[in-house]
Amino acid sequence: MDFLTLFAIYVAVVLACIALVCKYSGQQQTPFHKLFDSVTKVVSPLTPKWLQRFSQRTLHRLFHQRSNMFIYVHILLEGAVYAEFTYEVFGFCRDMDTTLISLSVPYILLVVKTFFFYLCIKRDPGTVTKKKVASQMRIYSYDRRLFHPGVSCPTCQLVKPARSKHCRVCNRCVQRFDHHCVWVNNCIGAQNTRYFLLYLFSVCAMAGDIALLTGDMLLHAVLRSGLLRASYIDEYGQQQQAGPVFIVQQLFMTFPRIVFMLGFLIFVFFLLAGYSLFHSFLAVVNQTSNEWYKSRGYVCQHCHPTAAADNLRGPAPDHSKRYYYSRGLLRNLGEIFFPPRPVQKKDS
């Protein structure tokens, strides 16, 4: 069927894009990582050398150097969805007597999302500098598990505060480093994690609300057209009752752009909803994604030579808790939305 073929190609392209993002975004512990490596080994002998070099340079420029490319892609996709919603779905919903209040919600969410998106891009995530490093080191204690005292960043030439990490894309150390987000071309750290969480929630709300309005419009179109009671003659000359595949195919032939937009929105919603839940969990337990990835491969501190040396300098911290920096639900969330700021001493 034409519809199933097109939809399969669509899903394959989306999954390939996600695989590229997971592979080159700096997160090595992803399900797509091994799969991508396996596919690369199979395809490489069949790919010309010049094409391999070109793709490697392009991917490195996109994912390992600061670039606004993904910001432009984000805006382009968002513009395409809202243009289609405004041009077609809005009018159909008005014909079905959908209230203007309901139809205005996606535009309100767009304004809210754009505000937090801008803050994610422009706000400093908590850069570790010579002026701030002394006070930043007093915010968190070293757990002597993932973070050890006396460790310096070879690039920044500064002692690394606990929970900080050097971002190779931005070329700076970031306090309470979570990850580098290519979609906002900025690191997510102590001072902008709150904006990133609110940005994720607002994008999920946007995709979900537009998907619900679009799905409601298509459902009314099916009910009005009588497709549920329709039948067709199959390839063997037998009369068959219209099933879900037949109905979806008819909708695709009638509203191709709307159906593809709906499929894209549903895919984005579930993808970002899972990602938002993951980051919400990290906020609740006061852990960063960087710490979560590190702790998965953590070797017992008693077997770690650096940790053993640290323990000789002072009493070993209590690691009976799984989440060392957790201070309870309310205090953990308070730390996210009201992050502690380094206090600089005034010159006397």
Tokens 């809202």, located at residue = 82
| Distances in whole angstroms, Cα of residue 61 to Cα of each of 39, 159, 169, 234 | 22, 29, 10, 52
Give the best-scoring range by mean pLDDT among 14-18, 231-235, 265-269, 334-338.
334-338
Task: Tell me the pLDDT tens digit for each residue of 207-266.
Answer: 999 999 999 999 888 888 776 666 666 666 666 666 677 777 778 888 888 988 998 899
Q: Please tell me whether residue 341 adopts helix, strand or coil conformation.
A: coil
Q: Which residue has the higher pLDDT, 2 or 137?
A: 137
Which one-letter DSSP state was computed for residue 169?
T
Q: Is 22 a catalytic residue?
A: no
Name the percent of the chain lying above pLDDT 90.
Answer: 50
Element (H, E) at 172: strand 172-174
Q: How would you write 229-258 as a 3-class SS string?
A: HCEEECCCCCEEECCHHHHHHHHHHHCHHH
d(Cα 157, Cα 147) in Å, to the nearest integer?
A: 17
Task: Tell me the pLDDT tens digit for each residue of 55-87.
Answer: 555 555 555 677 888 899 899 999 999 999 999
Tokens 């650096």, located at residue = 306
**Residue from 120, 167, 173, 181 carrying the catalytic annotation:** 181
Listed residue (14, 3, 15) closest to 247, CA to CA: 3
Burial code (b: 16+ CB inside 10 Å, e: under 16) for 60-95 equals eebbeeeeeebbeebeeebeebbebbeebbbebbee
- In one-letter notation, the amino acid at residue 7 is F
